[in-house]
Amino acid sequence: MKIINMKTNRITNPLGFDLGKPRLSFVVCETSATKQIAAQVQVALDEEFMNRVFDSGRSEDVDSLAFEVPIKLQPYTRYYWRVTVWADNGDEATSDIAWFETAKLGEPWNAEWITPDLEKDVHPVLCREIDIYKEIVSARVYVCGLGLYEMEINGEKAGVEYLTPYFNAYDKWLQYQTYDISELLRTGKNTVEFTLGNGLYKGRFGFRGGEIEIYGDKFVLLCEIVIKHADGTITVINSDETWKARKSPIFFSGIYDGEIYDATFIHEDYYEVKKIDLGYDRLKARLSLPVVVKEVLKPIKVIITPAGETVLDMGQNMVGWVQFKTNAPKETEIVLQYAELLQEGNFYQDNLRTAKAEFRYNSNGDEVIVRPHFTYYGFRYVKVSGWSGEVNPEDFTGCVLYSDMDQLGSIETSNPLVNRLFLNALWGQKGNFLDVPTDCPQRDERMGWTGDAQVFSGTACFNMDTYAFFSKYGYDLAQEQAVFEGMVPMVVPVATIKGGGSSAWGEAATVIPWNVYLHYGDKAILEQQFESMKGWVDYIKRSDEASGNKRLWTIGFHFGDWLALDGDDPSFPTGGTEIAFISSAYYFYSSMLVAKAARVLGKEDIARQYEELSNEVRDAIREEYFTSTGRLALNTQTALVVALFMDLVPEKHRKRVAQDLRERLKKDKNHLKTGFVGTPYLCRVLSENGNNDLAYTLLLNNDYPSWLYAVTMGATTIWERWNSVLPDGKISGTDMNSLNHYAYGSIVEWMYRNVAGINPVEEKPGFRQVRLAPKPDYRLKHVKATLNSAAGLYESQWEINDEGQLKFKFVIPFNTTATVELPDAKLENVMMSGQPLVDAEVRSCEFENRVHVDLYSGKWEFFYTPEVEYIKRCSTQMALVELLGNKEAKKVLEDTVPQATALSKEMLEKVGHQSLRELSKMPFLRIPSEVLDELDLKLKNIKNNKVTVSV
C-alpha cells in the first residue's frame, strides 16, 4: 500500500501561494484493499514532526479528495504534512512528507516600488549588492516586477519559471512570487539583478493588433529579500532608492513581435532609481501555476526551401521558443523567425497578421546557449538567418512552455489517425494553457477568450490537472466581471476588449467551475466562484426582464454558434441557429448550474430560487420552440444537439428529436456543420440518444468538414477552422486562421466519456464514483483509456474480435465504486473474469438491452457475444458512397448494377450519402426491388470495415 500525489490545493509543494484555507489531497495505490476505513493527517513546523500544529488523530472524516486543515496560517512559514491510511483489509501506510509554505499573508510591505531613471522604452536591469557575513539558514525573495521579470543571484537564474509575474487583470490585482534562494546566496558579496521586459503590462497587446501601455507605462519592481541566519537573526533587503539601474542588452521585447538581444552591448554606467507610488492594495500572493519548460524537442530535419531559406522543422506545432548554441563571430546577427506552416515549400507568416514573431541575437563571439526572455512563440517551423556555417540541428532545442500541470488522461485506439487527433487536442491544450487559456498562441491576439475556455474545459479536466489553473482564471474572471455588474467579458484579462455578455462565452463563469468541481471533488472552487456564477445569471435575468420578462434571452450581443458552417454571413460567422434559442438555452443551463452549486454549498434557499428560474426558462423555451408533437422549430444540427444535451426536450419527445437529428445529419451527408456551441456536445448527444453509429461516422470522416481532415493534412494541433488549410496545401485565409486553436478539440471529452465510457457522477464527484459505459463501434477494433483521476487511476479498454464478440477490461482505484454498463448484453451470456456473471458476488441486473454491474476497486474483465451484430455487413441499406468505398462491394455492384458505379463525382457528392435502396427510386437510377434483394444476398458476407468516408 502506497500513498502518492500529495498536493495542497491540488499543487505539489506550493511555495508562496495564496492558499486560503489549505486543502490536502492524496491518492492510495498498490493495495488489494477496496476501502479507506480511517486516516490521520498531521501537520508540523519541522520534518521530524516534533512541533505539530495539527493532528486529526485516527479519523473516519479525512477525505483524500480535499481535507481542509483547520489551522490559522502564519506568514513566512513552511508547514510539513503527512498522512496515514488504514484500509478494510488491514493494510496501513504512512506517506512521505509533503509541504506548503506561506508568503507574506497580511504582513505589511517595507519595500518600495522603484522605477529606473531611464527612457521608458529602455529595458533595465535593477540591481544591488548584498554583503552577508553570517551563516545562512534560509533565504526568500518576495517580488513583483512589471511588465515581466527574471531574477539572477550571482549570475545564476533564480527558479525555473518564465514570464513572471504572468498575465492577469493588473488594474485589479498584482501577483507577487516567492523564491527560495538559499542555495544561490553565499557568504560575502552577492549581486542581485532583476531584468525587466514589457509583457502585456506595457507592451503591445490586444485585439486587432493591440495597443501599448494598457496597464502601465514604466518598468517597476517591488522586492523583499529575507535572510535567516544560524544565530537566529534576520537580514531584510528591500527595494528602495539605494538600488541602481543599468541598460539591458535586451533592446526590445514584445509578446507578439519577439525580442532583440545584443550580446555586444556592454553598458557599465549605472543610473538612479526612483520611487513610484503603485500602492500595495492590489498585491496578492500568487495564484498562477509556474510556467516552465515542461519538455524539449529536437528538430526532425533542416529544410532548404525553394526560396533558398534554411528552416528547422520541429515536427510538432508547439509553444515556447528555440534555444541554440553558437560561437558565431562577433557582430554576427542571428535571426530566428517562427511560423506554423510552409506554403509552396517556403517559409510563411501571413496568418500571424501583424505579429513579427522573431528573435534577433547579435553575437559577442563567445560560445553561449541563447534563448529569449520576455516572449514566446507558437510554431512548427523556424527560419534561421545569419548562421555561420552549416546549420546543425543538434545546436537547436525546442523548449515547450506551459503552466505546470500534470497530465492525467490518455487515449489509444486501433486507428492511428484517431490517436493523432487525441494528441492534437492535447498539444493544443499545452500550447494555449500558458497561465491564461488563450485562443491561440502565435498571432497578434493570444487572448483569454472565455468562449474557447468554456467549451474545452471538460476535455481540459480529463487531460490535465487543471484545478489550480482554472482557479486562477476564475478569480481573474470574477475581478473583471465585478466591474460590469455581473456581465462576463469576452476575454479575461479584458485588456483592450471591454465588451461581453455573449451566451456561451459568459458561461465560462458557470460551466468551468462546475466542471472543475465535478472532476476534482473539491467544492472550494464553487465557494470561490459562487458569486461570479450567480452574478452572471442575474445579469441574464436583468436582460430578460428588460425585454419583457419572457424567461427567454432575446436581446444583447451574441457570437451564436461561432464559425458554424450553416450560416449565411461569412463575414461574421454566427451560424444558422437562431441566436435567441442558443442564448435562452444557456440561460436555462447556467441557472441550473447555479442551483446545483448552491445545493452543494448548502445554500438551499438560493438553490430553490435558481432551480425555479431554470424550470421557468425551460418551460418558456418549450412553448416558444417546440410543437405539441415534439418537433423543434429550428432544424439545425446545433439546435437539435443543444436541445437534447441541455434537457430542453420534453421526455416523451426525446426519441423523435434524436431521430430528427439523425435525419438532419443525413441531409448534411453525415458531416458536421456545427460551430463553437454545437461541436462540444454533438457526438455526446448522438452516442447517448441511440445514434452512436453516427457519432463514430463523424469522428472517422476524413474529408472536409471533419476532425480527421486536418489530421490527414498533417496537422499536429487543432485548427481554428474546419478548413484552415485547403486540400491543395494552401491556407484558406489569413484574417482569422490559427493552426493551434483548441476549441474543436472538445471532441476528446466524448472520447473519454462515450468511447472509453469514463463518466464522473455528480453525487460523488472527483471520480469517487464513476459510470463506466463504453460504447464500442466495429470501426475501431480496440480502445484503451487511462485517467489518473483525483481519486486514483482508472483504466477502461475494450476490443471487438473477428467473431464480433466484446471484451472489456476495467481498473477501478482504491476507495471508489463504479457502475459498469455493458451494451447490447444479456445477463446470462456475460462472463466476468472467467466465470458467469450470474454466479459472481457482485450486484448486477439487465435493463434496456444493457447489463449493469456495481463494482468496487480492483481489476475486472467481461466477455460476451452482443445481442446485435457489431461487425457490420454490407447491404443496400448502406450509403452508396460507403459501398463504393469497399472494394469487394464495389465489384459486386459493377457486376450487378453497373449504373450505380458509373455516377459522376458531382452526382455522388450530391446523393452519395443516401442508401442504394433510397436511390433506386430515383429516375436516374431505377433498380427493381428483386435486384436489390439479390444484391443483399451477395453483399451480406462482405464486412463493412471501411473506417473513413470520403467522396
> Is the bond into 145 cis (omega within 30 degrees of 0)?
no
CB 276 within 8 A of CB 114: yes
pTM for this prediction: 0.96
Upper half-sphere CA count for residue 869 (Cβ side, 13 Å): 10
pLDDT band at 254 (very low <50, low <70, confident <90, very high): very high
Phi, psi angles (nearest 5°) of residue 550: -90, -5
What does the pLDDT average to over 730-753? 95
Classify residue 3 as left (phi > 0), alpha (psi -120 to 50) or beta. beta
The pLDDT tens digits of the residues spanning 144-201 come to 999 999 999 999 999 999 999 999 999 999 999 999 999 999 999 999 999 999 999 9
Residue 9: is its pLDDT beyond 60? yes
Per-residue pLDDT for 584 more than 80? yes
Q: What is the mean pLDDT of residues 699-722?
A: 97
Q: Which residues of 494-512 are buried (b: 16+ CB within 10 A; e: fewer)?
A: bbbbeebbbbbbbbbbbbb
The torsion of the CA quartet 366, 370, 374, 377, rounded to 10 degrees, works out to 150
H helix and E strand count, the chain: 20, 44
Answer yes or no: is pLDDT of 619 > 80: yes
Q: Catalytic positions, please? A: 445, 720
pLDDT of residue 946: 54
* Confidence band for 259, pLDDT divided at 50, 70 and 90: very high
Q: How far apart are CA 860 and CA 808, in angstroms?
A: 8
pLDDT tens track for 102-142:
999 999 999 999 999 999 999 999 999 999 999 999 999 99
CA 742: distance to chain centroid?
8
Instruction: Give the span between the Cα atoms of 208 and 731, in whole angstroms.
Output: 20
According to DSSP H, which parts of 180-294 are helical? 199-202
Q: What is the pLDDT of residues 805-830, one digit of tens each?
A: 999 999 999 999 999 999 999 999 99
Q: Which residue shows C-alpha cell 521530524?
A: 48
Question: Which residue stretches of 402-493 are H helix?
Answer: 416-432, 450-463, 467-483
Predicted confidence at residue 209, as pLDDT, reads: 85
pLDDT at 735 over 90: no
Look at the block and give the residue holding cell 541554440.
324
Do residues 95 and 3 touch, judged by C-beta distance below 8 A?
yes
For residue 399, what pLDDT band results from cuts at 50, 70 and 90? Answer: very high
Residue 474 to residue 568: CA distance in whole angstroms = 35
- Model confidence at 947, pLDDT cuts 50, 70, 90, reads very low
918 has pLDDT over 90: no
Give mean pLDDT, residues 376-387. 98
pLDDT tier for residue 921 given thresholds of 50, 70 and 90: confident
**pLDDT(732) > 70:** yes
Give the residue-averaged pLDDT of 206-226: 95
Phi, psi of 56 (to 5 degrees): -75, -15
pLDDT over 80 at 624, yes or no: yes
Average pLDDT across the chain, whole number: 96
pLDDT exceeds 60 at position 690: yes
pLDDT-derived band at 940, boundaries 50, 70, 90: confident
Chain segment 626-678, per-residue pLDDT in tens: 999 999 999 999 999 999 999 999 999 999 999 999 999 999 999 999 999 99
For residue range 859-885, list pLDDT tens digits in order.
999 999 999 999 888 899 888 888 888
Residue 949 has pLDDT above 50, yes or no: no
Q: How high is the pLDDT of residue 945? A: 63
The confidence band for 695, taking pLDDT boundaries of 50, 70 and 90, is very high
pLDDT digit string, tens, across residues 349-377: 999 999 999 999 999 999 999 999 999 99
Please tell me the distance from the alpha carbon of residue 703 to that of residue 93, in angstroms, as a whole number. 54
User: Does residue 905 have a pLDDT over 50?
Assistant: yes
CB under 8 A, 24+ apart: contacts of 550-553: 550/620, 551/587, 551/613, 551/616, 551/617, 551/619, 551/620, 552/580, 552/584, 552/587, 552/617, 552/620, 552/621, 552/624, 553/503, 553/580, 553/583, 553/584, 553/586, 553/587
> What integer is the mean pLDDT of 397-401?
98
